[in-house]
Structure 1
């Protein structure tokens, strides 16, 4: 289970860092004055439009925030039920989840066609595979 916990922790750290690119973009789009005073004039009705890559990076981050609890739940449950699971398999699934989510973020932010959904589905399948070990 050490490998699974390792990739669980990496996934948490990655999630915490995913906001940095789109917040830096916001700093440049809004300007330092509006950024530091919290919001530009007329926000949110007249929010300055960020670049598309920053909008996509934000959506990728929100998607990870929505998916991470399910990943945490199955990894923690697997750790609490060691007699029902294959720890090496769970560790491999956790690794697949993590790398799939890193690729998903990059693909989503860059707007690479046809890869966003498959990379998400790989991470989703990794969660389900761990969950099925618990059954």
Structure 2
């Protein structure tokens, strides 16, 4: 019986889902800590939002992640389909994932400039993936 070996890109997409869940949980837990479990369990019709710095940062970090996440998934799956004989695509995917992991504590701690640099590094990872797919 022959077994298929999953592409490392498919595995990275799976790990990126874990990162997405981390963002969702950080945002949810910080909002619940501030506004309470009744707010979280309720329909939230009143439009209340957390006003604390940590909850706001968690929400903005999550929104920022979701801006580049579709591009990562699309490029990773494209590379899984077309292949990556040079290895550059995989390098770009890892650069994106590691940078996005580093971004979370930097944003939550409110560290400027370095956070922006790490965000730029994640875009470089996407650019490497894009160039690998196209050329």
Please give the range of the TM-score, normalised by the shorter of the 2 chains: 0.7 to 0.9
Contact conserved, 1:22 with 1:54, CA < 8 A, in 2?
A: yes
Unaligned runs of 5+ in 2: 1-5
Q: Aligned partners of 2:96, 2:79: CA distance in 1, in Å?
A: 15
Deviation sequence 1:55-96 (CA, Å, 0-9, x none): 1111111111121111111111112212xx335322222111
Structure 2: distance between partners of 1:50 and 1:31: 13
Equivalent residues of 1:8, 1:94 under 8 A apart: no
Q: For 1:120 and 1:111, how far apart are their aligned partners in 2? A: 14
Structure with higher RCO (Cα < 8 A, 6+ apart):
1
TM-score normalised according to structure 2 size: 0.83
Runs of 4+ in structure 1 deviating by more than 4 angstroms, as ranges, are: none
Does the CA contact (< 8 Å) of 1:5 and 1:75 recur in 2?
yes
**RMSD of Structure 2 on Structure 1 (CA):** 2.0
Q: Deviations over 1:16-70 (max 9, x none)?
A: 2212122112222222333322327xx22xx254321211111111111121111
- Structure 1, unmatched stretches of 5+, are none
Give 3-state SS (helix, strand or coil) of 1:18's partner: helix
TM-score by length of 1: 0.83
In the alignment of these two chains, the number of paired residues is 129
- What does 1:26-41 correspond to in 2, within 5 Å? 26-39=31-44
